[in-house]
A and B are shown apart, each in its own frame.
Chain A
Amino acid sequence: MNFSRNGREKPRILLVEDNPGDIRLTQEALKESHTDVHLDVVTDGEQAVDFLYRRGKFADAQRPSLILLDLNLPKKNGIEVLKEIKVDASLKKIPVIVLTTSDADHDINKAYSLHANCYILKPVDFDDFAKVIRLVESFWFNTAKLTSE
């Protein structure tokens, strides 16, 4: 178990993202923020589902406090992943932040219909990207109260 400096359990973020550049950007953005979080990364939709259900090589995976989900993913896309998360009695309580380049209405609508907790467009600029990550962290980890069950 990882503990942060103030002794509380570190919040865990699961990043579902296939682009190594975006993974790195997220890591950079988290580095710049003040909240201490643990980041797990999976690079396709199937791995995301396996991770959450602790299957195969993810048997020891820990339940994330928050999921950052890209939509355009290999094997299983983000929408399919979202569908599987939100029908599970336990997993559906984990906030899912869709983080994507798609500003198509049907994607936004679909994501919220499937109970995504938030839909964010990936900013083009790094500073804006870092800001978004900071806002997400500050809202979900410092303002909102989450359940760990």
Chain B
Amino acid sequence: MIPEQFKTFFDTYTEAVLVTDDADAPVYMNAPCRELTGFNGGNVAAFPIADISKVKVNYTPANDKKNGRWECSYKRANGNELWFKVSVSPLPVDGKNWKIYTLSYNPAHEQLRETLQLSESRFTSLADETPVMIWMTDHTNLTYYFNKSWLDFTGRKLEEEVGTGWFQGVHPDDTQVFNDIGHLLRNNINYSVEYRLKRHDGQYRYILEIGTPRFLPDGSFGGYMGSCLDITEMKMAQVELAAQTKELQRSNEELEQFAYVASHDLQEPLRMISSYVQLISKRIESGKTEGLGEYMQFAIGGVNRIQALINDLLQYSRVNRKGNPFAPVDLNEVMKIVTAHLMNRISETGAKVTFGEMPIVNGDSFQLIRLLQNLTENAIKFKVPDRTPEVHVFAEDRGDYWKIAVKDNGIGIDDKFYSRIFVIFQRLHAREDYEGTGIGLAVCKKIVERHGGEIWVESKTGEGSTFFFTIKK
């Protein structure tokens, strides 16, 4: 029960005063308060105290120095609504924490109330119309407001989202981003984060969220306001762009490398032709004709080499540029064509070329012929002297792709050269031992990559090599 002396004191008070106990239950109100609120119940404890603490406009929380203050709209017993200014101050007496509420009413406040209600309804309709998702938190950073866009997006009710409910929709892998901005939140600083949020259809979408702190007229922190955009499309475009940029970079690098090696490798045979033609003419002038045949061979060799280089370079550059659309290709037919193309090589060397049951794959038939022909030709070419080349081509079913192998009994390749051999113009052998332009396997690699597969080699020096490539089913 309220001490009598307070009662006497407040009874003479002209302002409306309401006293509550430890549990914030009303225990006393003076006559001006009864008049103002229109409360005429016998038991003061029945006064709806929640009504005057509900809508907190211009809210200033209580602290050591100041009373808590706010404004609210209160519905009187007779039904009309009044605009109240409320101030609350603690009153600790005899170990009890009383609270004294002072209520005041000013007709001028009515205007404010209307303006506020108008502005509130404007805000709500604006916030609900915008495609931007908006939320607001109170000064303890618990969310109390979500606009329609947010609720439509998550497909959840306001009651489910308020407080920390919305956090359930954040992708588990992305919750960390909110820890990362913890220091910004604690210091009431602007922030922007990206995270994935579950949409009503269960799909996670990329969200860009910008948080801005709100401050009350007295400068104290009133909570954050956040605006969020679904940036998934932009994100996808970014990924696409990055992939395109990477592809462009790769093709530029390839072009540079191509120009560099092409100039180098094309110049060499040109030099041979010009130098040996010059030597030949010098010999003829001086009347010494011995060795002319050999010089002639070098000059002709240069011409042949330029021709081979140009052909191979064309092949290489055409893989991506002049590729045909993919269609079902029977690799059994491909191998028949390949062995027909290589007939001369095979009869010259006495090579045995065999192939197992080959699958039908989806691809560019001309390129697949080129691929298997280059590999088979290499298998015959890099033979051990005095050993009949044996080449076997076979396929293995690997579930969603085929693994194709070209196995030979040739000279083999040291494992330190396994990756170098697929680089354009890289050769392992002096030309007098094994002729070649150093382009064949680079072409193979390009073809396999265009078909979405991989190419590699396994080998034992002196015993033979097996070239493998994969191709999707």
**Is B9 located at the chain interface by the 8 A CB criterion?**
no
| B contact residues around A74 at 8 Å (CB) | 427-430
Given known A-B contacts A21-B276, A21-B301, A102-B264, A75 and B271 have beta carbons under 8 A apart: no
B305 to chain A, nearest CB (A): 9
Given known A-B contacts A18-B430, A19-B431, A24 and B298 have beta carbons under 8 A apart: yes
Cα distance, A105 to B72, chains bound together (Å): 79
Given known A-B contacts A101-B271, A126-B275, A20 and B417 have beta carbons under 8 A apart: no
B225 to chain A, nearest CB (A): 56
| B264 adjacent to A101 (CB under 8 Å) | yes
| B279 adjacent to A75 (CB under 8 Å) | no
Q: How many residues of A contact B (CB 8 A)?
A: 23
CB contacts between A and B, total, < 8 Å? 65
Given known A-B contacts A21-B301, A75-B417, A104-B260, A126 and B279 have beta carbons under 8 A apart: yes
Given known A-B contacts A21-B301, A72-B265, A43 and B432 have beta carbons under 8 A apart: yes
Q: How many residues of B contact A (CB 8 A)?
A: 26
B240 to chain A, nearest CB (A): 33
B93 to chain A, nearest CB (A): 88
| A21 adjacent to B298 (CB under 8 Å) | yes
**Is A118 located at the chain interface by the 8 A CB criterion?**
no
B433 to chain A, nearest CB (A): 8
Describe B's contact surface by its main secondary structure. helix
| B275 adjacent to A20 (CB under 8 Å) | no
Chain A 18-37 near chain B by CB (<8 Å), digits 1 or 0: 11111011001000000000
| B contact residues around A44 at 8 Å (CB) | 428-430
**Is B36 located at the chain interface by the 8 A CB criterion?**
no
| A contact residues around B282 at 8 Å (CB) | 126
Given known A-B contacts A43-B432, A74-B429, A102-B264, A21 and B302 have beta carbons under 8 A apart: yes
Within 8 A of A (CB), among B319-378: none
Chain B 265-297 near chain A by CB (<8 Å), digits 1 or 0: 101101110111011001000000000001000
| A contact residues around B271 at 8 Å (CB) | 22, 101, 122-124
- The residue from A24, A25, A72, A124 contacting B270, defined by CB atoms under 8 A apart: A124
Chain A 47-74 near chain B by CB (<8 Å), digits 1 or 0: 0000000000000000000000000101
Cα distance, A54 to B339, chains bound together (Å): 44
Which B residues fall within an 8 A CB radius of A? 260, 264-265, 267-268, 270-272, 274-276, 278-279, 282, 294, 298, 301-302, 417, 425, 427-432
Which A residues fall within an 8 A CB radius of B? 18-22, 24-25, 28, 43-44, 72, 74-75, 101-102, 104, 122-127, 129
Could you name 20 residue pairs across A and B whose Cβ atoms are closer than 8 Å?
A19-B268, A19-B272, A20-B431, A20-B432, A21-B298, A44-B428, A74-B429, A74-B430, A75-B417, A75-B429, A101-B268, A101-B271, A104-B264, A124-B271, A125-B275, A126-B275, A126-B276, A126-B278, A126-B279, A126-B282
